[in-house]
Structure 1
Amino acid sequence: MKNRVARLTTLTALLVPGLAAACGQAGKEAGVADAPASEAPPDSSLVLRVDHTGGFVTPQTLATRLPLVSVYADGRVITAGPQTAVYPGPALPNLVQRTIAREDVDELVELALAKGVAGTADLGRPGVTDMPSTRFTVVSGGRQHVLEAYALVRDEMAGAGLTDAQEQARAELLELVDALSDLPSTLGPEAAAPEQPYVATSVAAVSAPWVAPGDALPAQPAKEWPGPALPGEPVVAGDTLGCVTATGDQAAAVLAAAQDANATTPWSSGAGTWSITLRPLLPDEAGCTDLMSKS
């Protein structure tokens, strides 16, 4: 315990100067937003997340994109695992889960705060187009803090037109991403339990009318869709893209059917045939509405 306290004290001492340097006038691109929490969160509530928003991608990608990392109050840390380098890829993304101690959850929250997530740093706006923003969400002291940084990447062009202070503030956030992506280095080699597959209890399906791939892929027979009737609620008004949420037995059936399907498998539902992108829902997500609001 003494070693952990000493380590946390040292970490905070090292990070506070960076936090002070990052603070200043808030710019329009900083995207800082605080919201009071209505009540004390349950142990399984989200306390820290890094995800991407926007960018030059399809509405289907916007709706189904997974966070880089999600940390929950009960110690679960959910990230994307290694992806198979084949085309077409599997129907389900590879999500993995690790568990850390509550004191380590607190340490990650303190790290995010020290790196400026709850601050008012001017992050500037790099002179590049069509890039996504990186969104940081942290819950601390009964408040939710959200910070968005446009084009937060390690690239010479991403620094075009930025001041030294803006570059430093963005560097602090990139260091936070690195720290959350490598928990053994951040918390210690024994801090996180071994990775396990994350098994969702609910699955969203974003669908569009199926169109045969334009390349030389062999034809696939359509699989019967075991979830709610497609296409569901429209993702974008006036578009053919729809979303449904499978829960309970239907979710189990969808997950089972997806095991021998891939990203281009046609699915039959009612009188139609559909192309589907499956998005396992995370513990803090209830359905399609959550995905739309976060994209």
Structure 2
Amino acid sequence: MTRLRGLWTAAGAVTLLLLSGCAQAGAGAEAPPSATGSSGVPGDGDTLMLRVAHSGGFVGPDALAGRMPETSVYADGRVIFNGPVPAVYPGPALPNVQVLTISPDALGALIDKAVAAGVEDGADFGHPGVADAPTTEITVWTASGEQKVGAEALNEARADDPELTAAQKQAREKLLAFTEQLNKMTTEPTGGTPQEYRPETLAAIVRPYVEPGDGLPERPQTAEWPGPALPGESLSPTTGLSCVTATGKQADAVLAAAKDANSATPWISGGDAYSVRLRPLLPDETGCADLKAAR
């Protein structure tokens, strides 16, 4: 598994005041059947306890494969999430992934809040009349094991969508409120400053470089690829995407080079040019295989 490098502990414990209405910590957050400390939190800090992610939507195959979960919460209290990005083109070469740390009590309260919001296998959120919108998927570990739900167009659908029943509208309102509170926890932290997430393993989704035809007067400046030889292993024969992973000094070199690049930079490896989407791997991910299942 990947493990966080750097000074993420500097974030400190974040008190989730916005979740003060939740039940007491641990009431609905029984750990998986692994080594467990006295606090009820699994001994393996990389155990995933809660995740909010998007699937589908009108995006390209490389964006699907490289899309980061919105928020991932782990048993040791790490909250890893997507930070803000500048609204410019081309965008940064590396996504702005940040991390903060919450206390065991706050973690238990967060799990309780997710359960209260309706994260339970079989929950019905209906099918709104919205095309090409992503599905919000929320996974949480509870006393009953892993629970997962998906709500289509959770942020895009109208509150009065005629395709939804009254019960489905009510369920979606509760789930949306939970995601908004979770977003507030990361955008307005109350107990510490989020830090840059530096992964042990960095993945790169690769495709042959094609001139963008975006009308910009200058061709993007090329950069020498300092990681493993491209294009790497195939992710999907139908899309032509491939993948490589970098660790240790190679990962450090790619991260350093990415600071002087952007999302349109052609990377040169073995004399050929490639477009690369960088994707930091999370603590519960191990390699390119984790990206093959992206939807």
Task: Say yes or no: TM over 0.5.
Answer: yes
- Match status 1:224 vs 2:224: yes
Please say if residues 127 and 157 of structure 1, whose CA atoms lie closer than 8 Å, have aligned partners that are also in contact.
no
What amino acid is the match of 1:216?
L
Moved more, 211-220 or 164-173: 211-220
Match of residue 164 from structure 1: 166
- Within 1, Cα distance between the matches of 2:20 and 2:176? 22
Instruction: Determine which of 32, 39, 43 is the counterpart of 2:34.
Output: 39
What SS does structure 1 have at the residue aligned with 2:140? strand
Equivalent runs, 1:253-272 vs 2, <5 Å: 253-272=253-272
What SS does structure 1 have at the residue aligned with 2:268? strand
1:156 Cα deviation from its structure 2 partner: 2.0
Equivalent runs, 1:149-228 vs 2, <5 Å: 149-156=151-158, 159-183=161-185, 190=190, 192-214=191-213, 215-228=215-228
Please say if residues 128 and 157 of structure 1, whose CA atoms lie closer than 8 Å, have aligned partners that are also in contact.
no
1:158 Cα deviation from its structure 2 partner: 7.8
Structure 2 gap ranges (5+): 1-14, 25-30, 36-41
In the comparison of the two structures, how many residue pairs are matched?
266
What SS does structure 2 have at the residue aligned with 1:235? strand
What amino acid is the match of 2:205?
V
1:171 Cα deviation from its structure 2 partner: 0.8
Instruction: Determine which of 136, 139, 142 is the counterpart of 2:138.
Output: 136
Give per-residue Cα distances to partners, 1:98-145, cap 9 Å, x unaligned.
111111011101100111102533211112222211100111237211
Please say if residues 22 and 109 of structure 2, whose CA atoms lie closer than 8 Å, have aligned partners that are also in contact.
no
Structure 1 gap ranges (5+): 14-35
Please say if residues 207 and 241 of structure 2, whose CA atoms lie closer than 8 Å, have aligned partners that are also in contact.
yes
Match of residue 11 from structure 1: 22
1:88 Cα deviation from its structure 2 partner: 0.7
- Within 2, Cα distance between the matches of 1:39 and 1:138? 16
What SS does structure 1 have at the residue aligned with 2:285? coil
Instruction: Determine which of 110, 113, 116 is the counterpart of 2:112.
Output: 110
Query: Which structure dedicates a bigger proportion of its chain to helix?
Result: 1
Q: 1:250 and 1:89, CA in 2 relative to 1: closer, same or farther beyond 3 A? A: same
Q: 1:225 and 1:185, CA in 2 relative to 1: closer, same or farther beyond 3 A? A: closer
Give per-residue Cα distances to partners, 1:161-220, cap 9 Å, x unaligned.
10100000011110110111112899xx64x32111111221110111111221224223
- Within 2, Cα distance between the matches of 1:209 and 1:229? 13
Moved more, 124-133 or 103-112: 124-133
- Match status 1:286 vs 2:263: no
Please say if residues 135 and 147 of structure 1, whose CA atoms lie closer than 8 Å, have aligned partners that are also in contact.
yes
What amino acid is the match of 1:39?
S
Please say if residues 230 and 269 of structure 1, whose CA atoms lie closer than 8 Å, have aligned partners that are also in contact.
yes
What amino acid is the match of 1:55?
G
- Match status 1:245 vs 2:245: yes
Match of residue 123 from structure 2: 121
Please say if residues 55 and 137 of structure 2, whose CA atoms lie closer than 8 Å, have aligned partners that are also in contact.
yes
What amino acid is the match of 1:279?
R
Match of residue 7 from structure 2: none
What amino acid is the match of 2:34?
E
Moved more, 239-248 or 259-268: 239-248
Match of residue 31 from structure 1: none
Moved more, 84-93 or 235-244: 235-244
Instruction: Determine which of 61, 64, 80 is the counterpart of 2:63.
Output: 61
Higher RCO (CA 8 Å, separation ≥ 6 residues): 2
- Within 1, Cα distance between the matches of 2:187 and 2:286? 33
Match of residue 86 from structure 2: 84
Taking only the aligned residue pairs, the percentage that are identical comes to: 47
What SS does structure 1 have at the residue aligned with 2:34? coil
What SS does structure 2 have at the residue aligned with 1:61? helix
- Within 2, Cα distance between the matches of 1:94 and 1:9? 29
1:241 Cα deviation from its structure 2 partner: 1.3
